[in-house]
Amino acid sequence: MSTTAHAVPGGAPSRPSTTARTNASAAAPTSATLASDARLKRHVGPIGLLFVAVGSIIGSGWLFGALFAAEQAGPAAILSWVFGAIMILFIGLTYAELGTMFPVSGGVARYPHFAWGSFASYTNGWITWIAVASVAPVEVEAALQYANNYIPWLQKLSDGVPVLTPGGFIVALVLLAIFCVINTLGIRLFTRINNIAVWWKLGVITLVVIALFAVGYHPGHLNNPKFGGFVPLGWSGVFSAIATAGVVFSYFGFRQGVELAGETDNPQRNIPLAIIGSLVLCGIVYVLLQIAFLGTLPDAALVDGWAHIGTAFKGGVSQHDLAFGPMAALAGTIGLSWLMLLLYIDAFISPADTGFIYTMLTSRISYAMGRNGNAPKGLSKVNRFGAPWISAILAFFICGLFLLPFPGWQKLVGFVTSATVLSFGTGPLILMILRKELPDQKRPFRLGGGWIIPYLAFLSSNLIVYWSGWDVDWKLMVVVVIGFVLLWIHEAINGKNTPALDFRHGWWMLVWLAGLTILSWIGNFPAVGKHAGNLGWLTLVTSAVLIALFSVFIMWLAYATRLHSAEVVARISQKWTGEET
């Protein structure tokens, strides 16, 4: 029996008939039946894939995260980095199994198609695409924020927050254009450039940690009663910092091990190495950096408490310098002028490299959605270098649009965090479904523990979205609704030539998104009084209990509405057109 949709004039697959879906063979997919990424070049080796992940992780987060986490959690910011790494590792482990089972590019967007069909894959793909498209502009903004110290017309302070000037906006667009052009030249050139940049970034951040420990380090800051002890701002500050201070944001790059699975030469070996290796390596570095930052701060910076480091910083550095470059400002305060200069150089290279990676990733996500058939098929076209060139052009325009409503790093990073973690949430659920429906599928990397780690991964995703706070979450849900409007338009125009939406399998996502929105609205993140809008009915404990129970319910609902084996195989085996050059 055929497991693919019937071709129609115009090249796109028609909606599969009920008979075709029912009679599809339930045999486990093989490399021959899996929808192929043959036109993407498998030029990424183990070190290349690991370095793509590490290079994506080490971006602007470490340049700002240590300061913002300390302002929200004090010395307990150390725990924010540890907890954040563990939560992201749970999520990453589920994708390590998925990525080795089905090494396809744009996997985060394509895997939901295997488990629930087109509606779920479109919803998750849209959230994922928005999330990754917003990272490149935030990295460009970070680079220009530090550069403003020697090119002062790039940014200005608006209510104490650095934002782009008109001239800075033009420079940001030029950088985004350069990223997109390089990405159209193929993955081989990309990995060569990135490998060099990653060695530089690892060297600089390691040197910063060593220098701060060697000069001016005061371990007494970590638990000084004079400044409120180890947890001066409460546990809410610890968890809030995970979501809004750039902590989780700083770990997001692990996903490149999944998104480039279709372009690595040995995915069974390389994907787990890239995901687990990058998170462990960068987690250790980040924790050491936070400890060094906390201990190196001069006492004068803490005269008004940990929450006001950014405004009360004394000892030879101005508030202007701190706003436009906190790590460099600290290096200057303790007399390390050479390190301050190095940080100003790195503050362009590190974010620029990460922005470069995410423009590539943005094009791969839209490529995947085109392959799924629930976005224009032209997005999956590749050029002679094996790069999805139409998706790369679209990535430039979308990345540029994010600069308009979010003209500064601090204004955008909370949105990026919430959207990205939300896009990760389906991975643990897909893992359990595929274990049930494809028990004989080859799993070069198999995650142990049954349901435990997938549940903890899904719970982690929901908690981080909640901790992002109502003032971020409602904006994200508005963007999700816009995505549904675009889907309706696409279906109205091309509905006869697109795969069936499978709404009866994917409707659970509406319950999930609506539930998270309601929990955020009645919750206490951010604290009532700091921002208008949320009701503050929940405490830290009651919100955690409710989200834990809510996560169990959504996991059950997603599992109950899943596609079954024959339908799963049919969707994995579908070969959509539009791959031609």
| pLDDT-above-70 percentage for the chain | 80
Question: Out of 150-154, 271-275, 397-401, 429-433, which region has the weakest mean confidence (pLDDT)?
Answer: 271-275
Q: Are 282 and 247 in contact (CB under 8 A)?
A: no
> What CA–CA distance (Å, rounded) separates 413 from 145?
14
Look at residue 557 in the predicted model and tell me its pLDDT. Answer: 97
Query: Which range among 36-45, 304-313, 357-366, 528-537 shows the weakest confidence by mean pLDDT?
Result: 36-45
Residue predicted with more confidence, 388 or 175: 175
Asked whether residue 24 is assigned to any structural domain, the reply reads: no
Q: How confident is the model at residue 577 (pLDDT cuts 50, 70, 90)?
A: very low
Mean pLDDT, rounded, for 374-382? 75
Cβ atoms of residues 115 and 568 within 8 Å: yes
Mean pLDDT across 335-359 = 82
Backbone angles phi, psi at 180, to 5 degrees: -70, -40
Task: Find the CATH number of the domain harbouring 55.
Answer: 1.20.1740.10
Residue 260's pLDDT band, with cuts at 50, 70 and 90, is low
Cα-Cα-Cα-Cα torsion 318, 321, 322, 325, nearest 10 degrees, comes to: -170
What is the predicted pLDDT for the residue at 84? Answer: 94
Report H helices in 107-229: 107-116, 118-133, 135-147, 166-183, 187-214
* Average pLDDT in the chain: 79
Are 236 and 540 in contact by the 8 Å Cβ rule? The answer is: yes
State residue 190's pLDDT score. 62
**For residue 22, is pLDDT > 50?**
no
pTM over the 0.75 mark: yes
Q: What is the mean pLDDT of residues 242-248?
A: 88
Residue 50 has pLDDT above 80, yes or no: no
Say whether pLDDT at 511 is over 90. Answer: yes
In this prediction, residue 369 carries a pLDDT of 73
For residues 470 and 520, give the distance between their C-alpha atoms in angstroms, rounded to a whole number.
Answer: 5
Q: What are phi and psi of 38, to 5 degrees?
A: -60, -30
Q: How large is the angle between the packed helices 118-133 and 135-147, nearest 10 degrees?
A: 10
Q: How far apart are CA 316 and CA 4, in angstroms?
A: 68
The 3-state DSSP class for residue 518 equals helix
Three-class secondary structure of residue 164 per DSSP: strand
Assess whether pLDDT exceeds 50 at residue 576. no
Local confidence band at 158 (pLDDT 50, 70, 90 cut-offs) = confident
Around 178, how many Cα atoms within 13 Å sit in the side-chain half-sphere? 11
Containing 79, the helix (H) or strand (E) segment is helix 77-101
What does the block give as tokens for 536? 């503050």
427-464, pLDDT tens digit by residue? 999 999 999 999 988 887 788 888 999 999 999 999 99
Per-residue pLDDT, averaged over 132-150, amounts to 83
Nearby residues of 367 by Cβ (< 8 Å), 6 or more positions away: 105, 106, 379, 380, 382, 388, 391
Give Cβ neighbours of residue 217 (< 8 Å, ≥ 6 apart). Answer: 292, 295, 296
Q: Does a structural domain hold residue 469?
A: yes
Give a yes or no: residue 4 inside a domain: no
Instruction: For the chain, give the percent of residues with pLDDT over 90.
Output: 25
Q: How many CB atoms lie within 10 A of CB 479?
A: 15
Q: Under a CB-based contact definition with an 8 Å cutoff, are residues 272 and 445 in contact?
A: yes
**Are 422 and 131 contacting, i.e. CB atoms less than 8 angstroms apart?**
yes
pLDDT band at 88 (very low <50, low <70, confident <90, very high): very high
Q: What pLDDT is stored for residue 25 in this prediction?
A: 41
Please check whether residue 214 lies inside any domain of the structure.
Answer: yes
How far from the centroid of its chain's Cα atoms is residue 522's Cα?
A: 26
pLDDT of res. 2:
32
pLDDT at 160: 62
CB of 131 closer than 8 Å to CB of 419: yes
Instruction: Report the distance separating Cα 52 and Cα 255, nearest Å.
Output: 10
Residue 530's pLDDT band (cuts 50, 70, 90): low
| Interval 392-409 mean pLDDT | 79
* Residue 450 domain boundaries: 41-573
More confident residue, 324 or 97: 97
Identify the top-confidence range among 160-174, 213-227, 383-397, 559-573: 559-573
Predicted local distance difference test score (pLDDT) of residue 228 = 84
- pLDDT score recorded for residue 259: 58
- Is the pLDDT assigned to residue 24 strictly greater than 80? no
Query: What is the average pLDDT across 102-107?
Result: 70
pLDDT band at 29 (very low <50, low <70, confident <90, very high): low
* Range with lowest mean pLDDT among 21-35, 125-139, 235-249, 433-447: 21-35
Look at residue 411 and tell me if it is in a domain: yes
Number of domains into which the chain is organized? 1
Alpha carbons 192 and 353: distance in angstroms, whole number: 12
For 409, the token pair is 């790093």
Distances (CA, A) of 480 to 342, 369, 373, 509, 515: 41, 16, 19, 11, 14
DSSP 234-278: HHHHHHHHHHHSSTGGGGGGGGHHHHTGGGBS-HHHHHHHHHHHH
Q: Are 419 and 219 within 8 A, CB to CB? A: no
The pLDDT, as a whole number, for residue 261 is 55
Residue 329 to residues 194, 323, 332, Cα–Cα distance (Å): 27, 9, 5
Res. 580: pLDDT tops 50:
no
Of 88-97, 166-175, 177-186, 212-221, least confident by mean pLDDT is 177-186
Higher pLDDT: 452 or 18? It is: 452
Which of 134 and 60 is assigned the larger pLDDT? 134
Asked if the model's pLDDT at residue 484 lies above 90, the reply is: yes
Here the tokens at position 406 are: 């979010």
Residue 294 maps to a domain: yes
Q: Is the pLDDT of residue 343 over 50?
A: yes
Q: pLDDT-derived band of residue 239, with 50, 70 and 90 as boundaries? A: very high
Let me know if residue 6 belongs to a domain: no
The Cα–Cα gap between 536 and 277 comes to 39
Task: Give the span between the Cα atoms of 70 and 230, in whole angstroms.
Answer: 11
Distance CA 420, CA 201 (A): 23
Can you give the pLDDT at residue 27?
53
Residue 33 domain flag: no
Strand 161-164 vs strand 155-158: parallel, antiparallel, or unpaired?
antiparallel
